[in-house]
Structure 1
Amino acid sequence: MVNKFGLIFFSFLLFTSINLRAQVSKGELEIIKSELKTEKKELVRRNMNLISDEADIFWPIYNDYQQEKSAIMDERIKVLQHYADQYLVISEEDAKKVALDQFKFRKKSIMLRQKYFKILSKKMSPVYGIRFIQIDRQIDLLIEMKIFESMPLMQYR
């Protein structure tokens, strides 16, 4: 389980940083992403409990994972910002696109985790692979909770 203090701090950072109802400039978004990336890496570091030799193997893999994941998140952020801009007058076609995009991002995230579970399992051990996946998923759930908590429900009538 991810360190509770770390989650509380991470949650505070998210709460103060993410609000889809407010317009966020590209520069502000980059700062938020950088802060989240730093905090997430620290949570992963504290919870993986790696010794020096293990860390030498793990961190380059983690960096590759984060780079691929960042591309997925950038796409997702664009979709969420588009939704936040139009949720009061969304068309049926846009509503369908929002739903399909959500499925697409979830599928991409699962496939990415599977890929890196295999890599970590092979280069380290399945125990490290699943531990990382658990930590990463817990952090992602917290991020998703904060995003969707601040996102208004789609209006139809």
Structure 2
Amino acid sequence: MLNKFRLLLISFLLLIVSSVTAQVTKGELEIIKSELKTEKKDLVRKNMNLVSDEADIFWPIYNKYQNEKSVIMDQRIKILKKYADEYLIIKEDDAKKIALEQFKLSKKATALRQKYFKIISKKMSPVYAIRFLQIDRQIDLLVEMKIYENMPLMQYR
């Protein structure tokens, strides 16, 4: 399952990069994002080990979390596209804007995780909350690693 997730992740990232240089339709991007979300949900399901009553509480919370998180991810994709378009010829002001946008999104992501830690802790327990956040963060780190592994460094001269 993790290999299938990695394959979808790589496809998604390639689609982001190729959308900068070619016209990839928004529909194609949405299909890959949808498949990625499904695979991620399967990974979470397998690693949370929830019984029926727990699942009834957890999955509606998870769905709300993912909806809020997808807004942040869409903003990150927008920044990545901007970076990919401009990294060879970027101006200092634009580089600063990209950095500040990244910082803002990191704060938003942290605030979102904190919000849902509290929600899951209250409705289930802090143990379930931290377990979910560990799984979610591991997946996020995998995504970030793949993004930055293939991203060229900003050019300055």
Task: Give your verdict on TM over 0.5.
Answer: yes
Shift of residue 126 of structure 1?
0.3
Which residue pairs with 1:132 in the alignment?
Answer: 132
Which residue pairs with 2:30 in the alignment?
Answer: 30
CA distance in 2: counterparts of 1:110 and 1:125, whole angstroms: 19
Amino acid at match of 1:91: K
Amino acid at match of 1:33: K
Query: How do 1:6-155 and structure 2 match up within 5 A?
Result: 6-19=1-14, 20-23=16-19, 24-155=24-155
1:130-151 deviation per Cα after TM superposition (whole angstroms, max 9, x unaligned): 0000000000001111112222
Asked if 1 retains the 8 angstrom alpha-carbon contact of 2:11 and 2:32, the reply is no
Q: Which segments of 5 or more consecutive residues in structure 2 lack a partner in the other structure?
A: none
Q: Which segments of 5 or more consecutive residues in structure 1 lack a partner in the other structure?
A: 1-5
Higher relative contact order (CA 8 A, sep 6+): 1
CA distance in 2: counterparts of 1:57 and 1:149, whole angstroms: 37
Shift of residue 21 of structure 1?
3.5
Runs of 4+ in 1 over 4 A off after TM superposition: none
Aligned residue pair count: 152
Shift of residue 7 of structure 1?
2.9
CA distance in 2: counterparts of 1:116 and 1:143, whole angstroms: 20
Shift of residue 79 of structure 1?
1.2
CA distance in 2: counterparts of 1:17 and 1:108, whole angstroms: 22
